[in-house]
Amino acid sequence: MGQKIGLIRGDGIGPEVTEATVRVVDALGLGFEWVPLPAGERAVEKYGDVLPQRTIDGILECKVALKGPVTTPIGYGFKSVNVQLRQRLSLFAAIRPVRSLPGIKTRYEDVDIVVVRENTEGLYSGIENEITEGVVTSLKVATRKASERIARAAFAYCCLRRRHKLTVFHKANIMKLSDGLFIDCCRKIHETEFKNDVEYEEMIIDNGCMQLVRDPTRFDVLLLENLYGDVISDLCAAFVGGLGVVPGANIGEECAVFEAVHGSAPDIAGKNKANPLALIRSAVMMVRHLGEVEAYTRLKKAYHGILEEGRPEELTYDLGGTAGTKEFADAIIRRIDG
Ligand SMILES: NC(=O)c1ccc[n+]([C@@H]2O[C@H](COP(=O)([O-])OP(=O)(O)OC[C@H]3O[C@@H](n4cnc5c(N)ncnc54)[C@H](O)[C@@H]3O)[C@@H](O)[C@H]2O)c1
């Protein structure tokens, strides 16, 4: 029997991009067995819960899952499925490579950044109180345990992937205790475990944003707490072609969930318009994570070929083309088969 992969289709463009991705991965002939798992709006309709326990159990059983984006109501309603999933499965490290791609022209060239985001704490504790009419507090959580864990994972990632410098963005000048603890842990892990292997740098995040936009090529690996990582991931996506192309992995000690940086894009949902490349590239990360190096190289070569040639009928609208989600996947499959 093949490797089991949990599959969350998600909301909005989720079903379209997951279907395209599953077809592309199946074309590699690895014999994966997809295990559908409910989450999001349709899980509420069927199970009365946005994230049923069966989905958590299913991911733990498969150890690996591919996930489409899930909608979260703004300003009311249930706690984000994504936040819950990352907290309940302890998927503490989001790894988001942001690289310039062949054929995709942006304002920047030769960008090669990896955003590492702490996935379980910070302002995503979801603990908010209305103390009195018109006064609300939101609790930012930082623990030594989680901060050291993500710092160690980020430095270890640098060593594994031969990245030479890690930059931490923070706001410890204002949040002296929470961000203060975060950078204290980063300094300690660097000093005691990685001093000779990786260069370490800190930047106050407002200056960091300016430096990023001025010249993203000066950065290598970025390490950020949860909220900063969320925001900076989208900002970095714009350096290399937008949200339609940037992949991601959520890694924990027991399992890993691969998903694009983008959301459910309700503005283009159901129109066969979404670019599935971000999720396909997340699947590429998954295939590599599973040790399928030959398939990883084959799939990468297939979409690089399409991007390099730049034929409008093989590119989605966000990259200046006329192809739909399905047609883009078909073009990749033709190259894998050919
Ligand atoms: N991991 C996740 O599941 C995740 C991540 C971010 C946002 N969300 C949720 O998604 C919903 C919509 O959020 P949003 O509009 O702020 O962000 P979004 O990422 O869904 O969309 C932002 C913009 O990027 C475009 N875009 C996104 N993905 C694209 C793709 N694959 N191809 C082409 N264009 C693409 C959209 O059309 C939109 O114009 C919200 O409910 C939010 O909570 C979910």
pLDDT tens track for 21-36: 999 999 999 999 999 9
The encoded tokens of residue 72 equal 């979260």
Whether the per-residue pLDDT at 130 is higher than 80: the answer is yes
The encoded tokens of residue 329 equal 């996947």
Residue 293, judged by CB atoms within 10 A of its CB (0-12, 13-18, 19+), counts as exposed
What angle is formed at CA 69 by the lines to CA 300 and CA 65, rounded to 5 degrees?
60
Whether the per-residue pLDDT at 107 is higher than 80: the answer is yes
Tell me how far apart the alpha carbons of residues 252 and 30 are, in angstroms, rounded to a whole number.
Answer: 24
Which strand ranges, in their side-by-side order, compose the sheet holding 112-118? 33-36, 4-8, 64-67, 256-258, 249-251, 93-99, 112-118, 221-224, 165-170, 199-204
67 is catalytic: no
DSSP SS3 for 122: strand
Tell me how far apart the alpha carbons of residues 12 and 283 are, in angstroms, rounded to a whole number.
Answer: 19
Averaged pLDDT score across all residues of the chain: 96
Pocket test for ligand 1, best of 8, 17, 264 (most atoms within 8 A of CB): 264
Partners of 7 in beta bridges: 36, 66
206 is catalytic: yes
Q: How confident is the model at residue 275 (pLDDT cuts 50, 70, 90)?
A: very high
Tell me how far apart the alpha carbons of residues 289 and 113 are, in angstroms, rounded to a whole number.
Answer: 19
| HSE value, Cβ hemisphere, 13 Å, CA-based, for 324 | 9
- Please indicate whether residue 265, judged by its CB atom, sits closer than 6 Å to ligand 1: yes
Ligand 1 centroid, distance to 160 Cα (angstroms) = 31
- The catalytically annotated residue of 57, 206, 215, 301 is 206
Whether the per-residue pLDDT at 193 is higher than 90: the answer is yes
Tell me how far apart the alpha carbons of residues 213 and 69 are, in angstroms, rounded to a whole number.
Answer: 27
**8 CA to centre of own chain:** 15
pLDDT given at position 77: 78
pLDDT given at position 291: 97
pLDDT given at position 79: 82
DSSP string covering 146-204: HHHHHHHHHHHHHHHTT--EEEEEE-TTTSTTHHHHHHHHHHHHIIIIITTTSEEEEEE
pLDDT given at position 329: 98
Q: How confident is the model at residue 316 (pLDDT cuts 50, 70, 90)?
A: very high
Rg (Cα) of the chain, in Å, rounded?
Answer: 20
pLDDT given at position 126: 84
Which domains are present in the chain?
A: 1-92+244-338 (3.40.718.10), 107-239 (3.40.718.10)
- Please indicate whether residue 51, judged by its CB atom, sits closer than 6 Å to ligand 1: no
Whether the per-residue pLDDT at 108 is higher than 90: the answer is yes
DSSP string covering 270-335: TTT-S-THHHHHHHHHHHHHTT-HHHHHHHHHHHHHHHHHT-GGGSBGGGT--B-HHHHHHHHHHH
- Please indicate whether residue 71, judged by its CB atom, sits closer than 6 Å to ligand 1: yes
Tens of pLDDT, residue by residue over 212-270, are 999 999 999 999 999 999 999 999 999 999 999 999 999 999 999 999 999 999 999 99
Q: How confident is the model at residue 338 (pLDDT cuts 50, 70, 90)?
A: confident
Tens of pLDDT, residue by residue over 133-150, are 999 999 999 999 999 999
pLDDT given at position 42: 85
Whether the per-residue pLDDT at 1 is higher than 80: the answer is no
The pTM of the full predicted model, rounded to 2 decimals, is 0.97
Q: How confident is the model at residue 62 (pLDDT cuts 50, 70, 90)?
A: very high
Residue 308, judged by CB atoms within 10 A of its CB (0-12, 13-18, 19+), counts as exposed
Ligand 1 centroid, distance to 193 Cα (angstroms) = 38
Ligand 1 centroid, distance to 13 Cα (angstroms) = 9
171 is catalytic: yes
